[in-house]
């Protein structure tokens, strides 16, 4: 089957396509942003593929929620896949020319391009995604798309392209969570001297605050945050990765070290439970937080 027929099949399956250069750059041969908003016409396909061209698959809403996990490190693909057996059988998988993999699916929840797992030095990508604002080289593209290896993109698992399976938002979340386990970047070192002093404004309240810290769960002071192990926490609005981690101050106090920059909390700071209770639930109002904390510990 030639490229124009393959491109037409993608379009018929509501997958947006663009032509890709055959110079090894994997760059689009036309300005492609418009095809995030509309599918190419048959006239455009004829113009593009009247000569050899690679086929670029546009991810995102235009392709009915198409998202792709891009495994640059092919050695971790199979361990990842084996960790999600109930979802794995419904994913479409394409082997890339450099022994990597593209994992394709559709979902109502959709993100932008994200780096999920990196090498320890934080420079080489192991797993990333292509979502809204991204595209990949599609199976059916000729050799010239990837001149270094002189190999093609070949589908190895799943429904025959261009058919794609839609997964649930919860299943998609699991894909991200398992992929994040392969991130080799070390967590930042915790500087406990940055711990926020929460008792200064209530010099006579130490017993109440101490009881509050010992009796209240972390989940009670981190609304919307998620944790699979009770130690590593992911901020609201993020489906994977670690945004904060539990540690212990020098006096033995259990604290949360925050290193995300995407919340109202200060990054590279430590918070105890009461301070989080004040900041996240009572909008920084010390008096309201203390009164609520006092009522909570009195009822336990």
One domain for residues 90 and 210: no
pTM listed for this prediction: 0.72
d(CA 38, CA 105): 20
287 in a structural domain: yes
Q: Are 139 and 161 contacting, i.e. CB atoms less than 8 angstroms apart? A: yes
d(CA 55, CA 58): 10
Of 192, 195, 197, give the one whose Cα is nearest residue 209: 197
139 in a structural domain: yes
Domain boundary among 125, 160, 180: 180
Domain of 95: which CATH number? 3.30.2250.10
One domain for residues 233 and 141: no
One domain for residues 148 and 248: no
Element (H, E) at 255: strand 254-258
Rg (CA), the chain: 25
Q: Is 287 helix (H, G, I), strand (E, B) or coil?
A: helix
Flag whether pLDDT at 207 surpasses 90: no
One domain for residues 223 and 167: no
One domain for residues 163 and 73: yes
Domain boundary among 126, 150, 180: 180
Which pLDDT belongs to residue 188? 59
157 in a structural domain: yes
Which pLDDT belongs to residue 138? 95
Flag whether pLDDT at 200 surpasses 60: no
> Can you name the residues that pair with 92 across neighbouring β-strands?
104
Which pLDDT belongs to residue 195? 53
Confidence tier at 42 by pLDDT (50, 70, 90): very high
Q: What is the tally of structural domains in the chain?
A: 2
187 in a structural domain: no
48 in a structural domain: yes
> HEC profile for 129-169?
EECECCEEECCCCCHHHHCCCCCCCEEEECCCCCCCCEECH
pLDDT in tens, 151-160: 889 999 999 9
One domain for residues 148 and 236: no
185 in a structural domain: no
Q: Is 38 helix (H, G, I), strand (E, B) or coil?
A: coil
One domain for residues 238 and 148: no
Angle formed at CA 295 by CA 292 and CA 300, multiple of 5 degrees: 125
The mean pLDDT of 209-222, rounded to a whole number, is 89
One domain for residues 211 and 143: no
212 in a structural domain: yes
Q: Is 90 helix (H, G, I), strand (E, B) or coil?
A: coil
Domain boundary among 120, 155, 180: 180
Flag whether pLDDT at 10 surpasses 60: yes
Q: What percent of the chain has pLDDT over 70?
A: 90
One domain for residues 125 and 204: no
Residues 6+ apart with CB under 8 A from 15: 57, 58, 63, 64, 66, 162, 164
283 vs 199, more confident:
283
One domain for residues 156 and 235: no
One domain for residues 152 and 203: no
186 in a structural domain: no
**Residue 141 structural domain:** 3-180
One domain for residues 10 and 135: yes
């Amino acid at each position: 089957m030639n490229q124009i027929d393959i491109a037409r099949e993608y379009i018929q399956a509501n997958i947006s396509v663009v032509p890709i250069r055959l110079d090894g750059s994997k760059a689009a041969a036309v300005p492609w942003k418009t095809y995030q908003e509309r599918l190419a016409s048959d006239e455009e396909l004829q113009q593009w593929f009247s000569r050899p061209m690679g086929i670029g698959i546009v991810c995102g809403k235009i392709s009915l929620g198409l998202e792709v996990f891009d495994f640059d490190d092919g050695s971790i693909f199979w361990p990842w896949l084996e960790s999600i057996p109930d979802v794995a059988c419904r994913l479409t998988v394409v082997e890339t020319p450099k022994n990597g993999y593209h994992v394709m699916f559709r979902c109502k929840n959709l993100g932008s391009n994200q780096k999920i797992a990196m090498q320890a030095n934080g420079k080489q990508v192991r797993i990333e995604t292509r979502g809204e604002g991204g595209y990949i080289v599609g199976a059916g593209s000729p050799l010239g798309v990837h001149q270094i290896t002189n190999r093609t993109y070949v589908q190895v698992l799943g429904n025959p392209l261009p058919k794609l399976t839609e997964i649930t938002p919860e299943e998609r979340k699991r894909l991200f969570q398992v992929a994040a386990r392969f991130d080799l970047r070390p967590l930042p070192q915790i500087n406990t001297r940055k711990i926020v002093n929460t008792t200064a404004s209530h010099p006579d309240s130490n017993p109440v605050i101490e009881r509050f810290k010992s009796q209240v769960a972390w989940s009670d002071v981190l609304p919307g945050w998620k944790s699979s192990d009770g130690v590593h926490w992911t901020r609201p609005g993020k489906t994977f990765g670690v945004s904060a981690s539990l540690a212990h101050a020098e006096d033995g106090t259990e604290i949360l070290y925050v290193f995300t920059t995407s919340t109202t909390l200060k990054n590279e700071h430590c918070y105890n439970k009461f301070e989080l209770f004040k900041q996240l639930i009572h909008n920084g109002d010390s008096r309201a937080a203390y009164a609520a904390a006092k009522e909570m510990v009195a009822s336990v």
